[in-house]
Amino acid sequence: MLKACIFDLDGVLVDTAKYHFVAWQRLANQLGIAFTETDNEQLKGLSRDASISYILKKGNIVLSEYDKQHYMAMKNEWYLALVNTMDESEALPNAKELLINLKDNNIAIALGSASKNARLILEQTALLPFFDSIVDGTRTTKSKPDPEVFLTAANDLSVHPKEAIVFEDAISGIQAANVGGFLSLGIGEPTVLTEAVWVYPNLTSLNFEQLINLYNSKF
Ligand code: B16
Ligand code: MG
């Protein structure tokens, strides 16, 4: 029986990638490294630490751990200034409606995100009250494709992975869901998210009834 839905944040419920892009590009430029939209795509779903490592590698720059932490903190300050301008209108289409619809039908709801800023973003976009569990970058030690983030969420909700659908926009997130034994629903391009059980371009056509039908079709 479908008991829970676990949502990734960036790329599924909100589009914070555009703010990450501005902040990472500012940092990269300061270090004399070019940073394009294509680079930004590569960072989707990666942790902050893995993201700066990608940029430094691109620029052939080696930094001490101290300097790395300093630059990461600087990037995060710039990013947070943008996040603080977010409001309800930045929840992606049908995100709030779907969460309400799932809640009305007693489906438990969790967040499974790599972001250490997840709670603030949910607050800004007024989505926080819908979540029974929030598993973010402050609660995990292993990055996707490790299933830790989703397994922790399932544990919080006292459900078995088989009883939950994971909504993800990143390849690594889909892999994490699959490895953890969840049913994965990709948000994006079927040609990119080839390992997802189902792929939808966004949340707009999804509702409780349809998710139940999709879920039941697998058992
Ligand atoms: P922060 P998700 C991820 O969010 C983003 O996709 C990724 O680009 C970002 O580097 C990561 O969060 C860490 O974010 O710097 O806020 O801790 O897709 O897992 O919700
Ligand atoms: Mg994402």
pLDDT digits (tens, 9 = 90+) for 105-128: 999 999 999 999 999 999 999 999
Mean pLDDT within 133-138: 97
**CA–centroid distance, residue 115 to ligand 2 (Å):** 9
Decide: 114 in ligand 1 pocket, CB within 6 A: yes
| Nearest ligand to the C-alpha atom of residue 170 | 2
Q: What is the pLDDT of residues 51-97, one digit of tens each?
A: 999 999 999 999 999 999 999 999 999 999 999 999 999 999 999 99
- From the CA of 162, how far away is ligand 1's center (Å)? 25
- Regarding the beta carbon of 143 and ligand 1, being less than 6 Å apart is answered no
218 pLDDT band (50/70/90 cuts)? very high
For residue 92, the Cα-to-chain-centroid distance in whole angstroms is 13
Backbone angles phi, psi at 137, to 5 degrees: -65, -15
Q: What is the number of the ligand 1 atom nearest to the C-alpha of 45?
A: 6
- When pLDDT is cut at 50, 70 and 90, the band that residue 45 belongs to is confident
The two structure tokens encoding residue 17: 């990638």
Q: Hey, is 200 helix, strand or coil?
A: strand
Q: Spell out the domains of the chain, with CATH numbers in brackets.
A: 4-15+88-216 (3.40.50.1000), 17-83 (1.10.150.240)
CA separation for the pair 174, 68 (Å, rounded)? 29
Q: How far apart are CA 116 and CA 137, in angstroms?
A: 4
* CB of residue 2 inside a 6 A radius of ligand 1: no
Q: Is 67 a catalytic residue?
A: no
Token reading at 176: 């994490």
d(CA 72, CA 128): 26
Q: Is residue 184 within 6 Å of ligand 1 at its C-beta?
A: no
The answer, yes or no, to whether any atom of ligand 1 lies below 6 A from the CB of 46, is yes
Alpha-carbon dihedral angle through residues 29, 8, 50, 38, given to the nearest 10 degrees: -40
Whether 87 is catalytic is no
In angstroms, what is the span from residue 206 Cα to ligand 2's centroid? 18
Whole-angstrom distance, CA of residue 43 vs CA of residue 54: 8
Are 188 and 8 in contact by the 8 Å Cβ rule? The answer is no
Tens of pLDDT along 145-163? 999 999 999 999 999 999 9
Radius of gyration of the chain (CA): 17
Give me ligand 2 centre to Cα 11, in Å: 5
| Average pLDDT of the residues in 181-200 | 97
**CA dist., res. 1 & res. 215, Å (int):** 8
Q: How does residue 217 score in pLDDT terms, banded at 50, 70 and 90?
A: very high
Given a cut of 90, whether residue 44 has pLDDT beyond it is no
Which strands make up the sheet holding 183-187, listed edge to edge? 133-135, 108-112, 4-7, 164-168, 183-187, 198-200
Hey, what's the torsion of the CAs at 180, 104, 11, 51, to 10 degrees?
A: -50
